[in-house]
Amino acid sequence: MSRTNPFKKKRRQAKRTLLVLGEGLGEKVFLDHLKALYSYDSNIDIKIIRGKGGSADRIVADTDKIPGDYDRKVVVLDNDKAEEEMKKARQEAKKKGIELIENTPCLEYVFLLILGKKANGKNSTWCKSEFESNYIGEKKRDDIIECKKLFPKELLEEQRLKIPELDRLISLMEGK
């Protein structure tokens, strides 16, 4: 009869690493919120960084320059830029092995959808103005506490079934 040694150390499984770069501070705050809600049970080490803005292809190039041997790199950005700029960013990302998650037309549009607001056919300027003026205001725009109040896990779970961009972000945090 074989016995297991109770003093034998259990082998640790190496965590996978993920780098997520959000285009701006709003993306970073929201991604940090999703990470807190969804990554606790995953075997993934997630680092979220705020981008410096600029053109879409520049954001991708900046991500590639971040030091570290990550298993996966993802850029979250708005695709309300010129089509040629987005095409260049997609090509650059593919060449560098970086995944893109594009919010169409912007992150605030996704926020409005999560909150049940109809924003179909509206542009980024309208979505950003609508979200800031009716929900959190410019001064609290990047406040994690406001993010937690506006987007509780129950609401996110319900809306992820309807909003593909949200589901993709949550799946990312779950390590899928």
Distance of alpha carbon 113 from alpha carbon 91, whole angstroms: 29
3-class DSSP assignment, residue 172: helix
Q: For residue 65, give both structure tokens.
A: 């320059």
Q: Please state the rounded mean pLDDT for residues 131-151.
A: 77
Q: Please state the rounded mean pLDDT for residues 17-24.
A: 93
Percent residues over pLDDT 70 in the chain: 89
Residue 31: CB atoms within 10 A of its CB come to 25
Q: Please state the rounded mean pLDDT for residues 156-167.
A: 95
Instruction: List pLDDT tens digits, range 107-122.
Output: 999 999 999 998 888 8
Q: Evaluate if residue 143 carries a pLDDT over 80.
A: no
Q: Please state the rounded mean pLDDT for residues 84-99.
A: 96
Domain regions of the chain by residue span:
16-104+152-173
What per-residue confidence (pLDDT) applies to 11? 60
What per-residue confidence (pLDDT) applies to 134? 86
Distance of alpha carbon 36 from alpha carbon 74, whole angstroms: 18
| The one-letter amino acid at 121 | G
What per-residue confidence (pLDDT) applies to 59? 93
Q: Please state the rounded mean pLDDT for residues 24-38.
A: 92
Q: What is the CA radius of gyration of the chain?
A: 18
Q: Evaluate if residue 7 carries a pLDDT over 70.
A: no
| The one-letter amino acid at 113 | L
The answer to whether 136 touches 96, Cβ cutoff 8 Å, is: no
Q: Evaluate if residue 9 carries a pLDDT over 80.
A: no
Distance of alpha carbon 8 from alpha carbon 12, whole angstroms: 12
| Mean of all residue pLDDT scores within the chain | 88
CATH of 16-104+152-173, one of 1.10.1660, 1.10.10, 3.40.50, 3.40.1000: 3.40.50
The answer to whether 99 touches 46, Cβ cutoff 8 Å, is: no
Percent residues over pLDDT 90 in the chain: 65
What per-residue confidence (pLDDT) applies to 94? 96
